[in-house]
Structure 1
Amino acid sequence: MSAQQLVVVTGASTGMGAATARELARQGFHVLAGVRRDRDADALRGDGVEPVILDITETARVEALAARVDADPRPLRAVVNNAGIQVNAPVEALPLAEWRRVFEVNLFGHIAVTQALLPALLRSGGRVLNISSIGGKAAMPTYGAYAGAKFALEAVSDALRREVEPLGVRVIVLEPGGVRTEMSGRGIVTANDLAARMTPEQDARYGGLVQAINSLMASGTSAGLTADAAARVIAKAVTARRPRTRYTVGRDAAMIIGMARVLPDRLLDRVIAGTVRRHLPKPTTA
């Protein structure tokens, strides 16, 4: 059956998105894989994978994707909203323009794609898969913008599910923990760039914290799932006859989301503070 069905995967240039596109193609779907650049398209193109130049924040690109889907006689099985950026900085120090950029990509872009493709999904009885994060359930320090957009994506997913499941469209949230992709490395570079722009007073308040979070991010990524393992969970959500509303991806995600669900805020604060403390830079001695 999958050979006669389309799947759209956004953010497919590298990492989980690319792995998901290949895994779904391996399972027989025809995948429209959103990429930003021609060289990414050339690297990804293969049997069952059709790269599409896509920036989910550009209306014309999203409309072109919808037109491509509408022109295809095959039904649309699923839309995997995977595109995203990671920007970490303390709430006080992150410029408002960066807040807006994070929300444009990590929230509003997904809404734009979903709105554009919902008519096709309603016709086919397909499904929407929104790639959230453990940051959609528990916000670490310096993750205000990233986690804020993911919290919002979780809420939008709940509202959408209650709107369209009675109409035959399933809505599923996936919550990955650490995954070995290029995203965290880019996030560390961005965090360091933003930290370099902090005022001396902000650096005194948060400089050590930024270093600790970068160290924690690097260690969590190196110990995380491979992109291929994460892609298999996403593919399961695409193909399951009766999918769950949410899937955690990785043991760390299951553990942290479980703690966030049951621990009082102050106790969770202490757990997070203890984790961060182990990564703080050691004080220098004269």
Structure 2
Amino acid sequence: MKTVLITGCSSGIGLDAAHHMRARGWRVIATCRKEADIQARRDEGFETLHLELADEDSVARCARDALALGPVDALVNNAAFAIPGAAEDLPRGALRAIFEANLFGTHDLTRHFLPHFRQHGGRVINISSVLGLAGIPWRGAYVATKFALEGLTDVLRVEMADTPVRLVLIEPGPIGTRIRANSIPHFEAWIDWQSSARADQYRQTLLKRLYEPSAKKDRFELPPRAVSEKIALALESANPRPRYYVTTPTWIAGIGRRLLSTRALDWFARRS
């Protein structure tokens, strides 16, 4: 039985991936940040560890405790959060906070596992986003971390080609998760929208999306299982692809980056 550690298993993609990989015969170590979520995963029969990506000691402890449970064959870096808001309204502290979790902590955790993977073989699956391929308004902080994750993963993949370690990016578009609702506390903590030059735009667009979500589902939205299936493919394929797109918008963004001018991409971003 192979073992995979999956981060961000409180809900959404991480939780679904944990159940999906266990159903496929994998031993799953699920990490969460909150104690209530840790207990919920234990009640479901998972081996569970606490992980706070913004805390270096927590990252080191999580990796150490996971390896103490036995050999680990794969790491799925899924945990991340968003801070919605206009880029001009993002203070330095907001960017520091989101990079600590979405990039620095993720990379730090990967580094803790690389010596083990070098010896035994292993795979690192980084969950990126369509927003790692193309930026759209109000998502500047999240876009910045995903663009950075894409670049760092690309370099690691090339550098680790002479080792038994394989790195894969999975790039979902709209997925039915709680990321929007979970972003509200971060928005309220960091974005002074009422003092913004774009206050009227906040009222007309972002605030409605955050606080008055439509019951109508995005026509391109897929359930978390669509991502879990790509994770399984990346983990179980003899020769995994460097990237796996999930949802139509990701395919459009990927093709658009290769074929369209920057001005054309900007035009589409403004209408996203």
- Scaled by the length of structure 2, the TM-score of the pair is 0.90
Change in CA separation of 1:266 and 1:36 when aligned onto 2, cut-off 3 Å = same
Aligned CA RMSD, in angstroms, stands at: 2.5
Give me the whole-angstrom Cα distance separating, in 1, the residues matched to 2:44 and 2:122.
22
Give me the whole-angstrom Cα distance separating, in 2, the residues matched to 1:45 and 1:198.
42
User: Which residue does 1:78 correspond to in 2?
Assistant: 74
Does the alignment pair 1:98 with 2:88?
Answer: no
2:105 alignment partner, SS class: helix
Does the alignment pair 1:29 with 2:26?
Answer: yes
Amino acid at match of 2:93: A
Give me the whole-angstrom Cα distance separating, in 2, the residues matched to 1:192 and 1:79.
32
Change in CA separation of 1:128 and 1:200 when aligned onto 2, cut-off 3 Å = closer
Question: 1:221 deviation in Å?
Answer: 5.2
Give me the whole-angstrom Cα distance separating, in 2, the residues matched to 1:211 and 1:205.
9
Amino acid at match of 2:254: I
1:11 alignment partner, SS class: coil
User: How many equivalent residue pairs?
Assistant: 271
Amino acid at match of 1:163: E
Decide which of 57, 66, 90 is 1:69's aligned counterpart.
66
Change in CA separation of 1:101 and 1:190 when aligned onto 2, cut-off 3 Å = closer
User: Which residue does 1:262 correspond to in 2?
Assistant: 259
Q: Is the 8 A contact 1:93 1:202 kept in 2?
A: no
Does the alignment pair 1:249 with 2:246?
Answer: yes
Give me the whole-angstrom Cα distance separating, in 1, the residues matched to 2:155 and 2:249.
27
User: Which residue does 2:53 correspond to in 1?
Assistant: 56
Change in CA separation of 1:182 and 1:222 when aligned onto 2, cut-off 3 Å = farther
Change in CA separation of 1:197 and 1:274 when aligned onto 2, cut-off 3 Å = closer
Does the alignment pair 1:163 with 2:139?
Answer: no
Give me the whole-angstrom Cα distance separating, in 2, the residues matched to 1:266 and 1:9.
38
Q: Is the 8 A contact 2:4 2:76 kept in 1?
A: yes
User: Which residue does 1:281 correspond to in 2?
Assistant: none
User: Which residue does 1:107 correspond to in 2?
Assistant: 103
Change in CA separation of 1:38 and 1:220 when aligned onto 2, cut-off 3 Å = same
User: Which residue does 2:232 correspond to in 1?
Assistant: 235
Q: Is the 8 A contact 2:94 2:190 kept in 1?
A: no
Change in CA separation of 1:203 and 1:195 when aligned onto 2, cut-off 3 Å = farther
Change in CA separation of 1:131 and 1:197 when aligned onto 2, cut-off 3 Å = same
Question: 1:202 deviation in Å?
Answer: 3.7
